[in-house]
Amino acid sequence: MFTLEHQINPSLICTRIGRIGYLIFKYYCMKQLLLLAMLCAASYAQAQTLEAFVDSQGKIGFKDSTGRVVITPKHKYVYNFTEGMACFGTGEGLNIRYGFMDKTGKEVVAPKYMKTSFYSDGMALVMDEQKKYGFIDKTGKAITAFKYSAAYRFYEGMAAVNVGQIVDEEDEYLEAIGKWGFIDKTGKEVVTLKYSDVGGFKEGMAAVLLGGNIDEDGYKIIGGKWGYINKTGKEIVTPKYDEGYDFFEGLACVQLNGKLGYIDKTGKEVIPLKYDRAFDFMNGLAKVTVGGSPDADGKYIGGKNGVIDKTGKEVLPIKYDNIYDYSADSMAIVEIGRKYGFINKAAKEVIPLKYDYVSPFNYGMASFNTGGTYNAANQITGGKWGFLDLTGKEAIPATLEWVGSNFSDDVALVKTGGKFALINKSGVVVKPISIPAGYMIYPMGTDGRFKVEKQDKSDVFYLDKQGVKTNAAKQVIQ
């Protein structure tokens, strides 16, 4: 919850599906391919239990969960499977052309396209040699003519398409807006191409923009008014808002004259436009902010935060300096004046704001610090550490000197009695960790391992969650 945000300057953080369609290719498929090509060794888990690996020649193949090679390495450029299909590329540099393989490795779609998206609703968006976009199905058959200047992938059986949009040769800047509309999965243009910008369909509705101009940086469209259409193209909400976002749980956040509120699918403003920042509804609740503004980097500064329900009632008073995202344990950190506590899924304050630092809950436990202070780098130093359970009980009292990780697989790395160790949820040392003199150990990384580095940076090794020494850190592609 609370991860989808809207604010006065929505160009900084925008959750509307879509936004300047030509960016979809450059920053999705190409980024994934380049990342894979750069790794000398990489693997990542697939929902379909296929794991990618890179051979000695830098080519990528796939193994199943037993380690059996299912797809022999053949291509340097491959990215993960979606809907049973994976994009692959042949050639180099500007001559790379892309196609698709299935999960047996059969090249179903020949590598002849300059750009591709992943498959969505059984369709993939591709660009031909004339730099025009169209859609293909999983057999490679074109379901539309290659005539579009830009497009988004399919959402809820509808895809946005554009005629007339022009971008520079580097695909960086917008030079002409063109007109947007929508096609269905047969390729029929069911919504007339007349809009300056659109979002994808969400809950049967799509945000659409009439009017507007390209900003001086050439990156986005400014001005115009946003409204909403249904899948027949009927304007359910007449364009009148400065910004319009996706529907979530029957409500959409809209902005007018610098204030945000919510409308229902009839266009009725069910929650007044009075907030300076707002999040999409999830599980019947939304975070809102009064006051504050984004800085030059897009980070929101100041204001007070609270939580409302779908009637606009303040379920959690608007008084908090920060309300952070919910963890997997359905607890969210809240902050007032650098004191931290927790709210539960119902947005009720269940752990008082009395700690100088807390981590998100993981495996039912959250670390805390008392008596520490923040340095210039905004890192907490000193004080004593312990762990809370989900009831708010200090399951491990504040006697620890340092915490290097939250609990994972029922163990956590800590420093106690001047020594590093792995402890269990009762605070009992299950394995001492020996760190050579002159080395530093770092908190757990995103790969689930601890980096141990010599202070002069001449040597580095890694420890896994069991404290076992491993080779160089693996890199995981999501």
Residue 4: the pLDDT is 47
Q: CA-CA distances (angstroms) from residue 383 to 249, 368, 399, 402?
A: 43, 10, 9, 9
Asked if residue 130 has pLDDT above 50, the reply is: yes
What's the confidence (pLDDT) of residue 46?
A: 38
Confidence of residue 168 (pLDDT cuts 50, 70, 90): confident
Residue ranges of domains in the chain: 1-11+149-320, 23-146
Q: Are 35 and 54 in contact (CB under 8 A)?
A: no
Work out the percent of the chain whose per-residue pLDDT is above 70: 88
CATH topology of domain 23-146: Lipocalin (2.40.128)
pLDDT tens-digit series, residues 221-233 = 999 999 999 999 9
**Which band of pLDDT confidence, cut at 50, 70 and 90, is reported for residue 471?**
low
CB 12 within 8 A of CB 4: no
The better pLDDT of the pair 11, 376 is held by: 376
Question: Is the full-model pTM beyond 0.85?
Answer: no
**Where is average pLDDT lowest: 107-111, 253-257, 293-297, 351-355?**
293-297
Question: What average pLDDT does the segment 394-409 reach?
Answer: 91
Q: What is the pLDDT of residues 273-310, one digit of tens each?
A: 999 999 999 999 999 999 999 898 888 899 999 999 99
Say how far apart CA 38 and CA 310 lie, in whole Å.
47
**Identity of residue 136:** I
Instruction: Please list, residue by residue across 235-248, b when 16 or more beta carbons sit within 10 angstroms of its beta carbon and e when fewer do.
Output: ebbebebbbbbbbb
In this prediction, residue 248 carries a pLDDT of 97
Mean pLDDT of the chain: 87
